Homo-oligomer: A and B are copies of this chain.
Amino acid sequence: MAKGGSDRPVRVGVLGAGNVGAALVSLLLEDAAGIAARTGVRLELAAVAVGNPAKPRTGIPAELVTGDAKRLVEDPGVDVVVELVGGLEPAGTLVRSALAAGKAVVTANKELLAAEGAVLSALAADAGVDLLYEAAVAGAIPIIRPLRESLAGERVRRVMGIVNGTTNFILTRMSESHMAYADALAEAQRLGFAERDPSADVDGHDAAAKAAILASIAFRCDVHTDDVPREGITSVSPVDIAFAAQLGYTVKLLAVAERLDPPGTTARADAPPEVSVRVHPAMLPNTHPLAAVRGAFNAVFVEGAAAGELMLYGRGAGGLPTASAVLGDVVDAAHHLQAGAPARTPMRSSAHMHPADDLRCAWYLNIDVVDRPGVLAAVATVFGQHGVSIRSMEQLGMGDEARLVFLTHVARQGDVMATLDGLRKLDVVEHVGGVLRVLGDEEDR
């Protein structure tokens, strides 16, 4: 390894030459002198491992291309391994091998980190090497490092992120151009923002992996992607988006990571944190900074005890923006290697997952009822039976589209679910339409 301020450049091996890999290679090859001038570290591209080394690739010198990823991660001439293969395997085996070989690893692989982050972090800590993954959440936006370092002393209360550009694009189109979900999805697919099989995005899998990573960093605990309940955007209707707009709200798909220690536990500051990590659509007031995040952009909103409200905004995807975040990590790892400094491996504890039924927030409920006297009384009685307090009720829409739209005060999720069950049993309720959490409101900040 290039330790102790040696004059040898830090040698970088790249696994994968897709969008991000190709962009990273171009930055490393074309801007090497600029990077050295700006950062004081000389980086040298050692090799690029690809699935099919015979395929001609513009921008990557043929002598640097290899088909043998396994050999690359074990090559003593490689100091930093950048994993851009994606998915669980073979990426996981390659990353574990690289860490075991004492190499710093930079990865943008959210799926792998959300599934095996705890194991990989422990491997990196044992080897005393860096495992960095700024690019795994929200692309070019600096979020992992600010959470890990700038806010190191901060008691973070909640992180809410718009971390999936595809769904934010679709919701923005539905909201601003009154498009139906299917039409907005088709447009996203046409523009290359959505895959042909969009389920990783629209069902919230991608956001759930990022939520797990954000929670791990914000609360320094192990959160696995399986710990993250998710609701996607396929059931968000244009009607609810329009009603939300009339009430002054915007619908966004949010990755939420929240610390909810039971009262009285603040004295035990070293107790494992109790957290809730989840993905669901939510209504945000239009004045909330996240409400203004449009199209394919990403943003992460952090609420801290001392820092107050912070938001980090930018491009969450794309070859060059993601490669920029990867490059920042590579420079960081190279700095550590040159300085001979041990990597800063974050503390991690196990997490206690807060029961979903005990979560508290306000809710939007859109209920289709029979139009006759006494209906509101019957409906309100069900709310009251379950201790859910109504903040406002309006009849919105016209004719057959007319609905009773309720906003509740902050209520227990379990009580709201019981209320919905009760409402569905009422003769006068024809249909419970949209059900959305309301976050970022006055009661919630």
A residues with CB within 8 A of B: 23, 27, 31, 33-40, 134, 140-142, 145-146, 149-155, 220, 269-270, 289, 292, 304, 306-315, 318, 320-321, 323-325, 327-328, 330-332, 335-336, 339-342, 344, 346-347, 349
A-B contact pairs, 19 of them (CB 8 A): A34-B155, A38-B152, A39-B153, A40-B347, A140-B310, A145-B146, A145-B150, A151-B328, A152-B332, A153-B330, A153-B331, A289-B292, A292-B292, A306-B320, A306-B324, A307-B315, A311-B312, A339-B344, A340-B341
Distance in Å from the Cβ of A22 to the closest Cβ of chain B?
A: 12
Number of copies: 2
| Measured CA separation A146–B38 after assembly (Å) | 14
Residues of B within 8 A of A220 (CB): 37-38
Distance in Å from the Cβ of A106 to the closest Cβ of chain B?
A: 11
Distance in Å from the Cβ of A142 to the closest Cβ of chain B?
A: 3
| Measured CA separation A347–B153 after assembly (Å) | 27
Residues of B within 8 A of A269 (CB): 31, 33-34, 36-37
Residues of B within 8 A of A39 (CB): 152-153, 347
State which of B142, B151, B307, B330 has its C-beta within 8 Å of the C-beta of A151. Answer: B142
Residues of B within 8 A of A332 (CB): 149, 152
Residues of B within 8 A of A323 (CB): 306
| Measured CA separation A323–B270 after assembly (Å) | 22
Residues of B within 8 A of A308 (CB): 140, 314-315, 318, 320-321
Given contacts A269-B33, A308-B140, contact A154 B327 (CB under 8 A): yes
Residues of B within 8 A of A342 (CB): 339, 341
| Measured CA separation A313–B142 after assembly (Å) | 12
State which of B36, B146, B154, B320 has its C-beta within 8 Å of the C-beta of A270. Answer: B36
